[in-house]
Amino acid sequence: MTIKVGDKIPQAKFHHMTADGPGEISTDDIFAGKTVVLFAVPGAFTPTCHMNHLPGFVEHGDTIKAKGVDTIAVLATNDLFVMDAWAKATNAAGKIEFLSDTSGDFVKEIGLSMEAPILGHTRAQRFALIAKDGVVTHLGIEEGRELSKSGAAAILEALS
């Protein structure tokens, strides 16, 4: 079943790069007591994700945070080293939290995974959500390569 507005974000752990190297971060660490924008992409460095989806959040990150958002995070099933390289290549390190759901367990649990044989393994569907203290208050799920529901503009509108 797909997660929906009003649902609590399930318990999970993600991998991410810290100042001390590879680390884990839990959904409690990310969401508890905070307003969070989490957007997911099928893959780091893939054309739509790299050229269209992530850049909007980098460009409008300050505006999004000015509307009461504590954290903006991007999630993909790439490994944490790829996610770290993507953060650095896009100058988004420190602006956006890059999370690795390497096994795809989280996106499967929330019903937003997809199989992409050309990409090699389970991937996240393209989506974005807003959560307050771990409860989903907005959810936009895309069809194909669209960004009308999960891009920065849609999130800014949802925050208004």
Tell me the whole-structure pTM to 2 decimals.
0.94
Per residue, the 3-state secondary structure of the chain, as one string, reads CCCCCCCECCCCEEEEEECCEEEEEEHHHHHCCCEEEEEECCCCCCHHHHHHHHHHHHHHHHHHHHCCCCEEEEEECCCHHHHHHHHHHCCCECCEEEEECCCCHHHHHCCCEEEEHHHCEEEECCEEEEEECCEEEEEEECCCCCCCCCCHHHHHHHHC
For residue range 107-128, list pLDDT tens digits in order.
999 999 987 666 667 889 999 9
For residue range 12-33, list pLDDT tens digits in order.
999 999 999 999 999 999 999 9
53 included as an active-site residue:
no
Confidence of residue 49 (pLDDT cuts 50, 70, 90): confident
Homologous superfamily (CATH) for 28-159: Glutaredoxin (3.40.30.10)
% of the chain surpassing 90 pLDDT: 82
Q: Where are the domains of the chain?
A: 28-159
Check residue 73 and give its pLDDT: 98
Computed over every residue of the chain, the mean pLDDT equals 93
Active-site option among 3, 17, 37, 49 = 49
pLDDT at residue 101 is higher than 70: yes
For residue range 130-150, list pLDDT tens digits in order.
999 999 999 999 987 788 999
